[in-house]
Structure 1
Amino acid sequence: DVVCGVNSTDITFFTIPYRNNKFELDSETKISGNTLINKLKIFKYVTELFIDILNENFHDYYFENVKSLNIYKISDYWKKSRIDQKQKEKFFESLPVIVNLPNLKHLDIIRIGNIISSTDLLNILKKARKLSSLEIGKTSLISFLTNDELCQYLNKMIRILIINEYPHEKSMDFNQLNKFCQ
Structure 2
Amino acid sequence: MKSTTRTLAAAVLTGVAAAMGAAAPAVAADTVPVPVPLDGVEKSLNVQLPKVGGELPLATPGVPDGPRYVEGRLIPASVLPQVPFGAALPGLSAETPLPQVIGKGFDEAGLSVPAADLRTLTPGLSVDTPLSAPNPEVFGLPTLKEPEAAVLTPLLQTAPTAALGLGSL
Give the TM-score taking structure 2 as reference length. Answer: 0.22
Higher-RCO chain (CA-CA 8 Å, sequence separation at least 6): 2
Tell me which protein shows more strand as a share of its residues. 2
Larger Rg: 2
TM-score, with structure 1 as normaliser:
0.21
